[in-house]
Copies of this chain bind each other. A is one copy, B any other.
């Protein structure tokens, strides 16, 4: 139980690596004038032609709904996506890509995937798979921990 505790260090390393990746992706998307979060929204809508409500987006992106408002506002102002009234719920919008937004993601994705390949370099595929498995298991553990030790709802 100290600063050299290996399991604590492992969590720190996870956060550091993710931050490094996030920063790299911030620089990466700059050339299209997008933030990583903006890209994530466009990318989600890309594979969902019928659109998403904002609350769905907030769940997929693990962020508060109020945050989606501003992100969608700015993307809508640039004509990359549009809000359409939901046909089934008059409170909600269906957010969907415009043609311009689709064209942009079409352009970005190949570069994006190629960059992912470059970043992994000569990592063996089995190793990557194992890593993903471990990360998924860890995610589950964290969620469980949060439920048990942090939220403890009545």
Q: Interface of A with B (CB < 8 Å)?
A: 1-3, 5-11, 13-24, 27-28, 47, 62, 109-110, 112-121, 123, 125, 127-132, 134-139, 141-143, 145-146, 149-151
Contact = CB atoms under 8 A, between A and B. Distances in A.
Is chain A's interface secondary structure helix, strand, loop, or mixed overall?
A: helix
A3 B150 contact: no
Contact of A8 (B17, B116, B143): B116
Contacts of A117: 7
Nearest to A36: B15
A128 B12 CA distance: 12
Contact of A135 (B13, B27, B115, B145): B13
Contacts of A145: 24, 115, 118-119
Contact of A16 (B120, B137, B139, B141): B139
B10 A131 contact: yes
Given A62-B19, A115-B149, A132 B5 contact: no
Given A1-B110, A132-B10, A17 B118 contact: no
Contacts of A27: 146, 150-151
